[in-house]
A and B are shown apart, each in its own frame.
Chain A
Amino acid sequence: MTDMKTKASASPVPTKVAQERRSMRRLAPIAAVLAGGVVILILSYTLEPFRNYQLATVGAYFCVTAGLTVLTGLNGQLSLGHGALMATGAYSFALAQNKWLSLPLSFVVAIAVTTLAGAVIGLAAARLRGPYLAGLTLAVAIVVPSVTSTFDETFNSDQGLSVVLDPPPGTIPMERWQAWLAWTGALLTVLLLAFLVRGAFGRRLRAVRDDETAAKLAGVNIARTQVLAFVVSAVCAGLSGALFAVLAQSVSPGAFPLTLSLFLVMAIVIGGLGSLFGALLGAILLVALPTFAQSVAEQTGSHRLEGNLALVVFGVVLIVVMLAAPGGLASIRFTFIRRFRRER
């Protein structure tokens, strides 16, 4: 009986069983997101406010890690500039929110601005490979926060801007409202990404990553695919930045340092590059590890451990994962050698 089933699914002619399976696979993301939504809803009612806030933070991180893992894992472009894109989204959100005081409109503005920023960086990124792309995006991550001091009348320099939020509807506590907002954003993002990477776009992403020449021969527009991947990923980062603005109810350049961009890379590498579930694990780690490091620091009573211990833990984990199990990168490493050989 099992033999017959495997035969049916392996045959090139789509049988009824295979078709059903395919439609099941199509529906799987919806089912997962719905289940996730239910879990979040239950959690948001049972957790205490501080834990709810952490839950919201996980959701906000999940947006950006999901977008970054698609870009780096599936398309082979390593971006160290996503912290800067988050800052772009956060500042656009803050400026729009303080001007019009409309939550949906501010999210739209934040996403529109980061789409534009992502397209500009993506256009440059599509022509660069390996360490050159990493270097350029690193420069973006370091330079963009300094823009806030140059145009200090708009961005108020290092102090940043406070974000005015309407009180949540009804009697919902603020933290629960924030968790709902963050996870609505995260789940919508993941649903969209899951459909994108399962469809023709995802196939093109992987084709470009694995062999550019073969992809080009098969009629894939390399540059357009790479720019689109960057834009999609930038939109996720912008939404995430806007959500962080909602969470902190303020934005400042100090919230988006270079280490944030490096943390994001660590999160997706540990979770397994290219995997949306891995991005979720990474987002959880981004919240859990600093909390753990913080409690250790409090127990030892050394204020210097605060923040810095998390850096060390993240760095060590990143190095160990890369040295012991570079399997996460296995799928993209061959592409890079080929690209490099051709360039030289």
Chain B
Amino acid sequence: MNQFVYLTFDGLSRGAVYAAFALALVLIWRAARIVNFAQGAMAVAAVYVAYSVTSATGSYWLGFVAALVAGLALGVIVERVVMRFVDHSSPLNGVVVALGLVLVIQGVLGIVYGSEFHPVETPFSRDAFEIGGIALLSRYDLFVFAAVGAVVASLTLLFTRTPIGLRMRAAAFAPDVSRLLGVSVGGMLTLGWALASAVGSLAGMLVVPTELGLHPTAMDVVFISAFTAAVVGGLDSPIGAVTGGLIVGLLLSYVSGYVEPTVAPMAVLLLLVVVLLGKPGGLFSSSKARVA
């Protein structure tokens, strides 16, 4: 029972990170109809920036801000320099270009920082509080929940309550009409990529300290988990992405705890296969009417 409670909280904490990362994938999918396979590599690059800043200044929070800024900048660069010129008539083209980006980013990181694992510190202790002899949550878990909750809340506010969010939705939903009405569709697309990349960087900042450490390929498995989360939620639905993230997090935690940690990636693969074959639209797919 104790173990079950602990694993549940641990899974929710992991799931929150996957939810944020899946949200980044969904943001780009909604804006550009591209699954950004370079998201993991971009997030790792931002975490490396944070690592440099933190090592230079000794302040975790300066590094944290630097990662978010680097994420924003990276998103803008990737969209303006590369993705804008992809022939979007085939989803295959976007995928292949994103894979090229993965190679470039991982190679550059390897050249600049070397290919060994760098341990990364956390701002709060990862020792769990005990309530009635049951280990529940660590301060770091609370920080993760707060950060992801803040992101979800502010994205919801942005898209539903602000003029710029309305423009972004319009630009994604009906580009031609929006352009006629004076919306800068290209600008909204860049903004979407920047936001998504920053959210991805935040997820990277949260997840890397809990894994083996910082490495150019550190986010590969996380990307798969987040992709699964996004697919479970239906790729089109932000609520679905968050729910999918929590489901994947719980699954990973239970499998690691009750079976063996090395089996966990296989469980994710299995979930992905089951969802893709059983309900390829995802559990929360909504916009049936929308055309690619």
Binding site for B on A (CB under 8 A): 76, 78, 80, 124, 127-128, 130-132, 134-136, 138-140, 142-143, 146-147, 149-150, 257-259, 262, 265-266, 269, 302, 304-305, 307-319, 322-323, 326, 329, 332-334, 336-337, 340-341, 344
Contacts and interface: CB of A to CB of B under 8 A. Distances in A.
A322 B228 contact: no
Contact size range, B: 35 or more
Contacts, number: 171
A57 to B, nearest CB: 20
A80 B99 contact: yes
A142 B220 contact: yes
A304 B263 CA distance: 32
Nearest to A320: B100
B103 interface: yes
6 contacts: A138-B224, A143-B265, A150-B260, A309-B111, A323-B86, A340-B292
A140 B266 CA distance: 9
Contacts of A332: 90, 92
Contacts of B266: 143, 146-147, 150
Given A259-B106, A262-B102, A344-B292, A146 B265 contact: yes
A341 B291 contact: yes
Contact of A319 (B35, B91, B101, B217): B101
List the 8 shortest-distance A-B pairs measured between CB atoms, nearest first.
A311-B107, A315-B103, A333-B90, A315-B104, A308-B110, A318-B100, A312-B107, A131-B35
Contacts of B107: 308-315
B231 A135 contact: yes
B292 A323 contact: no
B173 to A, nearest CB: 13
Nearest to A337: B89
B127 to A, nearest CB: 28
Contacts of B263: 150
A336 B276 contact: no
Given A131-B34, A150-B263, A309-B107, 7 more contacts: A76-B92, A150-B260, A302-B111, A307-B110, A318-B100, A322-B97, A336-B92
B262 interface: yes
B262 A127 contact: no
A316 B104 CA distance: 6
Contact of A132 (B94, B114, B224, B231): B231
Contacts of B175: none
Contacts of A257: 217
Interface of chain A, main secondary structure: helix
A139 B224 contact: yes
A147 B220 CA distance: 16
Interface of chain B, main secondary structure: helix
A127 B292 contact: no
Nearest to B224: A139
Contacts of B111: 302, 304-305, 308-309, 312
B128 to A, nearest CB: 27
Contacts of B268: 139, 143
A150 B291 CA distance: 43
A150 B280 contact: no
A75 to B, nearest CB: 12
Nearest to B99: A262
B247 to A, nearest CB: 16
Contacts of A80: 99
Contacts of B106: 259, 308, 311
B272 A135 contact: yes
Contacts of A78: 92, 95-96
Nearest to B91: A130
Interface in B72-91: 82, 85-87, 89-91
Interface string B172-187: 0000000000000000
B276 A337 contact: no
B160 interface: no
Contacts of B291: 341, 344
Contacts of B103: 259, 262, 266, 311-312, 314-315, 318
Contacts of B289: 344
Contacts of A310: 107
B221 interface: yes
Given A131-B95, A135-B272, A344 B100 contact: no
Contacts of B112: 304
A311 B104 contact: yes
Given A142-B220, A150-B262, A334 B95 contact: no
B158 interface: no
B265 A132 contact: no
A312 B107 CA distance: 5
